[in-house]
Amino acid sequence: MDTSTLSDVANRMVAPGKGILAADESTGTIGSRLLSIGLENTEDNRRSWREILFTTPGIEEQISGVILYDETIRQNGSDGKRLIDNLTSLGIMPGIKVDKSTSPLENAPGELFTSGLDGLRDRLAEYRNLGATFAKWRAVITVAHGIPTARGIKVNSEALARYAGLCQEAGIVPIVEPEVLMDGDHTIEKCYAATEATLSQVFSDLIDSGVYLEGIVLKPNMVLSGSDAPNRADAAEVAERTITCFRRTVPAAVPGIAFLSGGQGDEEATVNLDAMNRSELDRPWNMTFSYGRGLQAAPLKKWGQDTSDITGTQEVFARRAKIVAAASRGEYSADMERG
């Protein structure tokens, strides 16, 4: 294991003022988004959309890396170059989603388990040869009556630890993504309890598995009220509870935390990230973003209005990236949304 390279890549991924674009939507998920703007789910349309994002001028100033889907890491753009080469020419690191589908955990109503460990060592070797420098695996933790259970957390945590170890063995930085879902009407206190239990187990299993913590990036949820909860907590409380929870569970050795947007709206995810970076609570890690919809929703809507307006669509994407990057520095203002 080349620990110095792993540490270097992880630190570059969460460099101050930069974050990660999640463009790893499955064929079905990106198809739903294309359908929302009246486009068919074809390979050409999927390629065109991702190429618009990846070739946006100046985006390397806010984006350190892009998480790709298996189809995308193999695709050529309209110029005949590999899409991945367009990223690396800008100094943007390419990553790859390696988890597969979630399925119900046996004898555990309401809880899910992520598959994808079978054959992962060989797939990682192939992705490394294709140019991937980091990877991503998402574990899903549901909050509802009686769940998550300790067993539900444990089986997902052990899979994350095995994945992370295999990544580092292959010379790839693992993004460790345990997501406590915001779906439901639960309180922020319940999200806090589930997040604390999940992160405690995840880092226990990572350490037991010999994972080099200085060579990972954590991609967690924020501690939030459920999306359907009455009187949802404001940004100040989200920041206080999230940082407090992480100070109790996330070792200082971890280079940085790249939050997922997790179903939040564009502005909510940005305001919450900004509040955390303005907080006076001490924290040893850089706190940035790894957003999918939080970066893509606005430019996708613009593209749907006129698919020939590539420049206009890229301007909207670049603006969204600048806004979110400002939040990662604690410099966001609501006027940026209206500017």
Q: Which residues are catalytic?
A: 177, 219
For residue 162, give the amino acid letter: R
Cα 209 from Cα 198, distance rounded (Å) = 16
Cα 208 from Cα 210, distance rounded (Å) = 6
The CA–CA distances, whole Å, from 190 to 72, 89, 234, 257, 282 equal 37, 44, 16, 21, 24
For residue 287, give the amino acid letter: M
Among the listed residues 107, 121, 65, 112, the one whose alpha carbon sits nearest the alpha carbon of residue 90: 65
Cα 268 from Cα 272, distance rounded (Å) = 6
Within the chain, residue ranges assigned H as helices are 3-13, 27-36, 43-54, 70-73, 83-89, 120-130, 150-169, 188-208, 235-249, 266-278, 293-305, 310-328, 335-338
For residue 186, give the amino acid letter: H
